[in-house]
């Protein structure tokens, strides 16, 4: 029996979810769902979550080849499309992984993703990380690949030229960056033919990156926020003793108590009201629907005072530090992020 995705079913009417108009005129929903299972959920569980999310009105799905679940998600997309959701109503993102940065490899990787997802085009394609550095699955954060190296702009432009070619060939509608920094963007923007439409970055109340968000908005590049609730279920390898917990912050908890919701909802609503597009991940039906509702303009609105208070709790706590991408003589993970305003060499 064919599954139905009637707009009169449970959940949210997708037409009620506001959109962001990107710098190329493409339209992107103001909230999505991530598909990284975080070492806790297998590909079939993630695919089931994608189907349920579509049932309750979600239309923005953030994928990546490195998540090792695009074939299963592709099968889920076929269920969704056969259930009556038009392809043009979906907004589907994927990313090229670090080991496919060579000449011709970005194109090939995108075509493989399209085949795995069962699609003719992607709405958005991102460069997952600005380095060709990668690591074997399950490795420790202390491991270092002898082939890892710092950011080299000329190498990144080899990647970006292929991203532009994907747009020109009609395989991708929009392209963007991920895990970038202001110094690296300052090199990319003068050299690109097609400007990034988005930058996907870690954003949550304890890691707000306000200067970077302002930089992007001023240049008409839309910020997309991953780990929007502080990623409490991120892999153990990404946790350190100095990490803080956003959903336990008294300011977040107080707003949640007033609204009668879980603190995670406050984190998402703060992101949406801030103008960021969050992409929370969940396999729990009630959370998937609750997350989606955060994009509704009149749903659980935070007051100006609450937004100001939430803006004051930034702790500069980066959770996804990227230690496994460091080169052998790197001083520490902070060199990946150009925190002193310069790019490490």
Three-class DSSP labels, 295-329: CCCCCCCCCHHHHHHHHCCCCCCCCCCCHHHCCCC
Quick check: 214 pLDDT over 60? yes
Among candidate residues 125, 65, 74, 148, the one with its CA nearest the CA of residue 100: 65
Quick check: 285 pLDDT over 90? yes
Among candidate residues 105, 40, 98, 87, the one with its CA nearest the CA of residue 64: 98
Mean pLDDT of the chain: 94
| Residue 345 lies inside a defined structural domain of this protein | no
Between residues 137 and 275, the one the model is more confident about: 275
Listed range (139-148, 170-179, 203-212) with the worst mean pLDDT: 139-148
Rounded distance between C-alpha atoms, residue 209 and residue 314, angstroms: 8
| Residue 160 lies inside a defined structural domain of this protein | yes
Check the CA dihedral 255-258-264-267 and report its sign.
Answer: negative
Residues 6+ apart with CB under 8 A from 229: 204, 246, 247, 263, 264, 267, 268, 280
- The pLDDT value recorded for residue 73 is 98
| Residue 297 lies inside a defined structural domain of this protein | yes
Contact yes or no for 187/149 (Cβ under 8 A): no
What integer is the mean pLDDT of 159-171?
98
- The pLDDT value recorded for residue 107 is 98
Q: How far apart are the first and last CA of the chain?
A: 58
If phi > 0 it is left, if psi is from -120 to 50 it is alpha, else beta; for residue 80 that is alpha
| Residue 6 lies inside a defined structural domain of this protein | no
For the chain, the domain total comes to: 1
| Residue 343 lies inside a defined structural domain of this protein | no
Looking at 67, 125, 151, 156, which residue is catalytic?
67
| Residue 76 lies inside a defined structural domain of this protein | yes
- State pLDDT tens for residues 94-113: 999 999 999 999 999 999 99
* 215 assigned to active site: no
Buried b (16+ CB within 10 A) or exposed e, 5-24: beeeeebbebeebebbebee
Between residues 136 and 118, the one the model is more confident about: 118
* H helix runs in the chain, sequence order: 43-55, 70-82, 105-117, 153-168, 182-191, 210-218, 250-259, 263-274, 285-293, 304-311
| Residue 4 lies inside a defined structural domain of this protein | no
127 pairs with which residues across the strands?
96, 177
Contact yes or no for 52/290 (Cβ under 8 A): no
| Confidence category of residue 2, pLDDT binned at 50, 70, 90 | low
| Residue 185 lies inside a defined structural domain of this protein | yes
126 pairs with which residues across the strands?
95, 176
Contact yes or no for 218/197 (Cβ under 8 A): no
Percent of the chain topping pLDDT 90: 85
Rounded distance between C-alpha atoms, residue 144 and residue 140, angstroms: 9
321's tokens: 């530090």
What integer is the mean pLDDT of 85-92?
98
* H helix runs in 177-223, sequence order: 182-191, 210-218
Among candidate residues 26, 22, 23, 34, the one with its CA nearest the CA of residue 60: 34
- Find the domain containing 218 and state its range: 14-337
Percent of the chain topping pLDDT 70: 96
**Which phi and psi (to 5°) does residue 263 adopt?**
-55, -25
What integer is the mean pLDDT of 102-127?
98
- The pLDDT value recorded for residue 147 is 84
Q: Look up the CATH number of the domain holding residue 92.
A: 3.20.20.100
122 pairs with which residues across the strands?
172
- The pLDDT value recorded for residue 162 is 98
- The pLDDT value recorded for residue 1 is 44
- The pLDDT value recorded for residue 238 is 76
Listed range (164-168, 236-240, 308-312) with the worst mean pLDDT: 236-240
């Amino acid at each position: 029996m064919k599954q139905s995705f009637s707009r009169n079913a449970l959940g949210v009417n997708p037409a009620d979810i506001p959109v962001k108009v990107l710098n190329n005129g493409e339209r992107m929903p103001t909230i999505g769902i991530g598909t990284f299972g975080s070492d806790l959920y297998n590909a079939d569980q993630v695919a089931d979550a994608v189907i349920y999310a579509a049932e309750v009105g979600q239309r923005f799905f953030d994928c990546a080849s490195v998540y090792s679940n695009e074939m299963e998600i592709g099968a889920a997309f076929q269920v969704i499309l056969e259930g009556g959701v038009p392809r043009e109503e979906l907004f589907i993102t994927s990313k090229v992984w670090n080991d496919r940065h060579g000449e011709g490899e970005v194109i090939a990787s995108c075509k493989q993703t399209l085949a795995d997802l069962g699609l003719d085009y992607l709405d958005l394609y991102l460069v997952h990380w600005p380095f060709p550095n990668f690591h074997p699955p399950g490795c420790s954060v202390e491991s270092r690949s002898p082939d890892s190296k710092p950011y080299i702009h000329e190498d990144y432009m080899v990647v970006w030229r292929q991203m532009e070619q994907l747009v020109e060939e009609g395989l991708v509608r929009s392209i963007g960056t991920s895990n970038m920094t202001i110094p690296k963007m300052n090199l990319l923007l003068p050299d690109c033919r097609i400007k990034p439409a988005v930058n996907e970055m870690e954003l949550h109340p304890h890691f707000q990156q306000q200067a970077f968000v302002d930089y992007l908005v001023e240049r008409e590049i839309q910020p997309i926020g991953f780990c929007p609730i502080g990623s409490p279920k991120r892999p153990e390898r990404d946790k350190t003793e100095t990490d803080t917990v956003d959903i336990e912050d008294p300011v977040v908890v107080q707003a949640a108590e007033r609204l009668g919701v879980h603190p995670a909802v406050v984190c998402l609503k703060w992101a949406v009201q801030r103008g960021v597009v969050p992409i929370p991940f969940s396999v729990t039906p009630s959370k998937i629907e609750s997350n989606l509702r955060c994009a509704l303009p009149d749903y659980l609105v935070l007051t100006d005072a609450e937004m100001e208070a939430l803006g004051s709790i930034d702790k500069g706590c980066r959770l996804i530090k990227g230690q496994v991408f460091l080169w052998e003589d790197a001083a520490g993970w902070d060199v990946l992020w150009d925190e002193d305003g310069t790019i490490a060499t």
